[in-house]
Structure 1
Amino acid sequence: MKVLMVSWEYPPVVVGGLGRHVHHLAEALADLGVDVTVLTRQPSGTDASTHPTTDTVVNGVRVIAVAEDPPEFDFGVDMMAWTLAMGHGFIRAGLRLLGQGWTPDVVHAHDWLVAHPSVALAEVFNVPLVATLHATEAGRHSGWVAGHVNRQVHSVEAWLARDADSLITCSASMSDEVTQLFGPDLAPITVIHNGIDVDAWSFAARAERTGPAELLFAGRLEYEKGVQDLLAAMPVIRRTHPGTTLTVAGEGTQITWLKELALTHGVAAAVDFAGRRDHHDLVALMHRCDAIVLPSRYEPFGIVALEAAATGIPLVTSTVGGLGEAVTDGETGRSFAPFDPAGLAEAVCDVLDHPQVAAVRARRAVERLTEEFTWRVVAQRTAAVYRAARIRPSAPRPRPEIPLRPMPDRDPNVNA
């Protein structure tokens, strides 16, 4: 089987979790004997006139990376123009495969940014189009897609979802979200959880705590990650567990707002906004802290929960989206409802009050990882989707409805 995988990020270009996902999936598929070619881009700022397309084989995966052409567009300012220019470069590189006599059996698109080249190349090669929707614009903004660019992104997502011959989501909740937003006449949706390289996240048993508790958040500092709820819960946690501190590892657009919230809640001195940490530092933080708290208000899956579980740190997560599927309350971690600082504080205090019980749950979480979330399992399930995919008959694609539900509990000073 031959697969053309299309992704706007792939190492060394990694923006977020999508790039890591595609990387591990591609190499795991190659290990299964699948002929994988990844069509991706070179780092921003590389001009096609001076940086020709590269074509290399890395760990059994053929990686074709195109430079920006033209280079004048800036993603942060001209997102749609930048995306279309990138897609044009992808199409040109994909068409060259025809001249080399290489034709895929399936095209696999990862998210809306590669919708245009993926749809075009699937039509040219006359093969099924499989699309993985890692998140949605509506979900990222709790239904608030009134902005012009937000509506454009939502429309492209709808087009990709409705044009695909088979769909993959990383959680059952994400499957429901896609059906609600873009259904009902979609291709079959298969839920395949994200995977994790357990060996890259070394396990360490919790040492008995002798001083104040240390909590950790790791992830992007965006509204949907719910760090504001964790900051609101910190005064309650510190009243029952004096001296408790919080390390916030990550960066994002909401950093200024979150620092202001820490001041508002009177916990600024107890919160360390540590910025983005490399892998080694993040593992060290997970080994040191008493619990990781992931209070997301929207989370298609939550790969950080798996990475943290592999290190042995007790998990305290919201029940939203994929987190509710990755963590079983009372068995592999503690959970609380999203948007609920009081429930968050109660779950954290339970972990701090009963460290031995929390350690038992942490070990159960690691055992579950090795059974359900290995990349080999993810690759096997994905290959099964490839084999089953068939080109669907052409049908009218109605314009998508634009969800305009206001974001709940929205701070008007925070950008969408």
Structure 2
Amino acid sequence: MKILMLSWEYPPALVGGLGRHVHALATSLATAGHAVTVVTRQAPGAPADEVADGVRVVRATPDPVGLPMDPANLLPWALAFNHALTRAALGAGGGHDVVHAHDWLVAHAAMTVHEAAGTPLVATIHATEAGRHQGHLPHPHNRTIDGVERWLSASAARVIVCSDYMRAEVSRQFDVPADGIDVVANGVEALRWQARPRAVAAARARFAPAGAPLVSFAGRLVYEKGVQHAVAAVPRLRLRHPGLRLVVAGDGPHRAALQAQAAELGVADAVDFTGFLGGHDLPALMAASDCYVVPSIYEPFGMVALEAAAAGTPVAVAATGGLAEIVEPGGTGVQFPPGDPDGLADAVSSLLLDTDYARALARRARRRVRDEFNWPAIAARTAAVYAAAAGPAPQARPAESPAQPPAEPAGRPGRLQEAGRA
């Protein structure tokens, strides 16, 4: 199969987990024998057109008038980026069996390629704007993104999401029939998270005094990641576990507020904000930790919990979204109510106080990651979605009774027509 993927991030241009996801999926599909082209944004020092790890990577040259990437208002940048992305995608050659769009930031380019070439469109919705804001869309900016997500979802032959939670959310939020949505979990490159013993020992010495419990978190420092609740739990955790350290790896708009919170609570010396950790540093930190915590308020999947499990670390996660599906309480980790610092402290303490229990959970979690979330299996499931998208259009359902109006066709065109009337 010949596949064209569109993504706003791809190595070396990485912002969050999406770029790593697309890279692993693309390379796994290529290894399985598919011809994969990824069209993405330009990255300093990266070639405009190259074959890397079996994947052709085309990086779009931005227009001469550059617009800043402002996280508070991405729309101007996204519109200009999509113009450049469309130009690069159309110039990358044709004959693709499917075009795969990753999130709303590439929607306009994906739609143009889909319509110009008549190529079936598959869309992965990694998260929704409404979900990130707990169902509230406070500004025109947020409502516009929500509208683009709705447009992309309605236009795709198939929609891919990472969890049953996201399947229900996308179906409800965008009025997409559940049978048009495929759940394909995110995958984990387990070997990437196997840190060398020397690196683990160095991380332990760097982040925690000898004998002190070490708890870690990694991710973007934004409200929905819930780091504020992890920081709020530190005073209680320190009372139970003297010398405990919390390491927060990552960056984002909430970093200053989180640092101020730690200072106000009198635990600034116990919370280490490292900024972004790349390369081998993050796996080493995870493996050195006694517990890895995921305090998210909104989490479509929670891949970082699986990455920590692959590193061999016991995990404590908020019982929300996809996290509640991938971490079995008492089986592969522990859970706590989202937004509850006391519950978080109790969950983490249960792991710190019973190391045998924690290690047993970690062993089972690592085995599950290896068996169920490996990338070759994820790539095969994704290829099956592509085949379904490229297959024959579904037949119209007959009217339920002569007294009722004819039912709308089951396929995507009916949803597109409805979206056009909205």
TM-score, length of structure 2 as denominator length: 0.88
Q: CA deviation at 1:366?
A: 0.6
Q: CA deviation at 1:186?
A: 6.8
- Spell out, residue by residue over 1:231-283, the C-alpha distance to the aligned partner (whole angstroms, 9 max, x if none): 12112111121221111111110011111211222212211112111232212
Which structure 2 residues correspond to residues 89-238 of structure 1 after superposition, within 5 A?
89-97=84-92, 100=93, 102-185=94-177, 188-202=180-194, 211-238=211-238
* Uncovered stretches (5+) of structure 2, i.e. residues with no partner: 394-411
Counterpart of 1:87 in structure 2 is: 82
Change (3 A) 1:185 1:310: closer
Q: Tell me, what secondary structure is at the counterpart of 2:413?
A: coil
Counterpart of 1:70 in structure 2 is: 64
Counterpart of 2:387 in structure 1 is: 387
Question: How many Å separate the matches in 2 of 1:356 and 1:180?
Answer: 42
State whether residues 171 and 322 of structure 1, in contact with CA within 8 Å, keep that contact through their aligned partners in structure 2.
Answer: yes
Q: Tell me, what secondary structure is at the counterpart of 1:65?
A: strand
Whose relative contact order is higher, 1 or 2, with alpha carbons under 8 Å and at least 6 apart? 1
Question: How many Å separate the matches in 2 of 1:306 and 1:186?
Answer: 26
Question: How many Å separate the matches in 1 of 2:82 and 2:3?
Answer: 18
- Spell out, residue by residue over 1:3-49, the C-alpha distance to the aligned partner (whole angstroms, 9 max, x if none): 111111111211111111111100100111111111111027x9xxx
Change (3 A) 1:399 1:323: farther
State whether residues 167 and 178 of structure 2, in contact with CA within 8 Å, keep that contact through their aligned partners in structure 1.
Answer: no
Q: Tell me, what secondary structure is at the counterpart of 1:62?
A: strand
- Spell out, residue by residue over 1:149-170, the C-alpha distance to the aligned partner (whole angstroms, 9 max, x if none): 1111111111101111100001
Counterpart of 1:412 in structure 2 is: none
Counterpart of 2:399 in structure 1 is: none
Change (3 A) 1:232 1:386: same
- Spell out, residue by residue over 1:286-332, the C-alpha distance to the aligned partner (whole angstroms, 9 max, x if none): 22221111111011111211111111111011111111122111011
Question: How many Å separate the matches in 2 of 1:373 and 1:199?
Answer: 12
TM-score, length of structure 1 as denominator length: 0.89
Question: How many Å separate the matches in 2 of 1:220 and 1:125?
Answer: 37
Q: Tell me, what secondary structure is at the counterpart of 1:320?
A: coil
Q: Tell me, what secondary structure is at the counterpart of 1:20?
A: helix
Question: How many Å separate the matches in 2 of 1:79 and 1:210?
Answer: 45
Q: Tell me, what secondary structure is at the counterpart of 1:157?
A: helix
Question: How many Å separate the matches in 2 of 1:218 and 1:16?
Answer: 11
Whether 1:307 and 2:307 are equivalent positions in the alignment is yes
Comparing 334-343 with 282-291, greater Cα deviation is found at 282-291
Q: What is the RMSD of the two structures over their aligned residues, measured on CA atoms?
A: 2.3
Whether 1:33 and 2:53 are equivalent positions in the alignment is no
One-letter identity of the residue aligned with 1:261: Q
Counterpart of 1:282 in structure 2 is: 282
Whether 1:398 and 2:419 are equivalent positions in the alignment is yes
Counterpart of 2:340 in structure 1 is: 340
State whether residues 238 and 244 of structure 1, in contact with CA within 8 Å, keep that contact through their aligned partners in structure 2.
Answer: yes
